[in-house]
Amino acid sequence: MTAHGVRAYWRLACIPIGILINAYGNNLTDGDDRTLGLVLFLVGGVLAISGMTPLKRFLEENPLRDGLFKIVVALSGMALFTLGTPIAVAVKVAKGTAQPIDFSPAAMSLMLIYLGLPFVMRWMEPKDFLLQRLAGRVRRAAISRTIANAAGILAIAAFLNARFSATYPAPLLSIALTLLVAMAVVTHKTSARTRKLCTQIHTDVQSLLRDLDTLNLARSPRRADDKQADKQMAARRSWDALKRDLSTTVDTGYRSIGLPFLADEVVAELDRNVLAGIDADYPGGAARARADLQAIQDACARHIDVLA
């Protein structure tokens, strides 16, 4: 976003900030700080509402942003119900007033984030303009999985604090360091998987485009004697390899809980276009497929890492 965009839409930040303050205030109303909690609840609500007008203007400028707004709404609702307790416990930890009993509800909230966030993101992922949104789809999958994994590790830490901080406080420091290392490892693994998959897809798209170019030349009147069948078979092999990549999940190896690089219906449509282009008997028959393949390649170009 440009400097002008920042000046025009800085009030959008009021929405997530207001929601967090609102959630924290709502949590305080159940304790001894009811007055402070009520004030924060109202202040957070006012902040969130103040960002709605620039949000509407922001969405109307680009139709692609409407799907992102739905994701923001879903995540905001999830944050409202899950982040209040962990934030309150974090504040108590900073003040030095946290008690072992405080960590159990925080662990439950963090575990809900770990289990629910990937499914929420998969459910709310926009179903329109899929190729145009592809770069964002990949980025959102990696980020949401990283956040979910971090929440899961923090949930374990909170559970251990609730269970053992009073009776076995000494080992908790080493356990905390171990969990921090684990968080770094899973974050790196998710990022590396995303970059490796994008690099592989970029390479396979390039191979298929070259095979289509070769096939296109073989169909020209001047080279009608070239072996088109062999070139068609080479293009089919390239497409088979790419098709497997496109159905691979971005964020995890478990397909049942992961987000595929491309939705199945998009892969099926692309399959029809590519095969139609390969079987066409005239030059330029794969023009439509080429445009889609180029869009995929452009999305992957942002995540290329040959050393991942």
| CA 195 – CA 142 distance, rounded (Å) | 10
pLDDT band at 240 (very low <50, low <70, confident <90, very high): very high
What's the Rg (C-alpha) of the chain? Answer: 25
- Residue 239's pLDDT is what? 94
Q: Could you tell me the pTM of the whole model?
A: 0.76
Phi and psi angles of residue 152, each rounded to the nearest 5 degrees, phi first? -65, -40
- The CA distances from residue 44 to 13, 50, 66, 79, 303, in Å, are 12, 10, 24, 13, 37
Confidence of residue 34 (pLDDT cuts 50, 70, 90): confident
Range ranked top by mean pLDDT from 17-31, 102-116, 161-175: 102-116
pLDDT in tens, 176-222: 788 888 888 888 999 999 999 999 999 999 999 999 888 888 776 66
What is the secondary structure of 54-83 as a DSSP string? HHHHHHHT-TTHHHHHHHHHHHHHHHHHHS
Q: 4-8, 29-33, 235-239 — which is least confidently predicted?
A: 4-8
Structure tokens at 145: 């999985």
Please list the alpha-helical segments (H only) found in the chain: 3-9, 14-28, 34-50, 52-60, 65-82, 84-95, 100-124, 134-164, 171-218, 228-246, 264-279, 287-301
User: What mean pLDDT is predicted for residues 106-120?
Assistant: 91
| Cα separation, 274 vs 287, whole angstroms | 9
Q: How far is the C-alpha of 122 from the C-alpha of 150, rounded, in Å? A: 18
Query: What is the model's pLDDT at position 85?
Result: 86
Instruction: Quote the pLDDT of residue 197.
Output: 94
Q: Are 70 and 138 in contact (CB under 8 A)?
A: no
* Tens-digit pLDDT profile for residues 128-152: 888 888 988 999 999 999 999 999 9
Provide the 8-state DSSP code for 11. Answer: G
Asked whether the beta carbons of 266 and 257 are under 8 A apart, the reply is: no
Average pLDDT, the chain: 84
Q: Given pLDDT bands bounded at 50, 70 and 90, which one contains residue 53?
A: confident
- Of residues 131 and 163, more confidence is placed in 131
